Amino acid sequence: MMAHTSQWFKKILMMLGFALSSLLLLVGAVHAVEVNTADQASLETVRGLGPSKAKAIIDERKKNGSFKDPADLHSRVKGVGEKTVERLMNNGLTVNGQGTSAKSGTKKSAKSDDTKTSSQETKTGRRKTAAEKAN
């Protein structure tokens, strides 16, 4: 009788191990979803894409054709900025074959010299006066 219980226990442990390893694979996996071919349900599986943004993407794609690159996606879909596109791509969205963390290709404007000098502070935490900046 002891041998029968031992076999039953081993089977339970094997099934639990299989279930746990399967769960770990599912949790860690990010599946690729191509923005130019996915339907709304598929787009909504990408973490960070809800029903309204998925619909907006599909509507824009139907109206003006496929997205060329990440920059094209964020420039054509209202409310989907550059950082959002980057985050979505890190979560599995692909744009015309471009995947994980691809930069959207837009350039940020450089800060002006006025901004840099006005933010200079002394060690005490106060801003430098014009005379202090001249020295």
Would 48 be classed as within a structural domain? yes
Strand boundaries in the chain, DSSP class E: 33-34, 93-94
Looking at residue 133, its pLDDT comes to 66
Size (the chain), residues: 135
CB neighbour list of residue 111: distance below 8 Å, 6 or more residues apart: none
For the chain, how many structural domains are there in total?
A: 1
Would 26 be classed as within a structural domain? no
Mean pLDDT in consecutive groups of 10 residues from the start of the chain, 135 residues = 70 70 51 92 93 95 95 93 92 87 40 41 58 66
Looking at residue 125, its pLDDT comes to 54
Q: Give the bridge partners for 34, in sequence order.
A: 94
15's enclosing H/E stretch is helix 2-28
CATH number of domain containing 74: 1.10.150.280
Compute how many other C-beta atoms are within 10 angstroms of the C-beta atom of residue 60.
17
**Token pair belonging to 24:** 């770990």
* Residues 38, 126: Cα–Cα separation, whole Å: 54
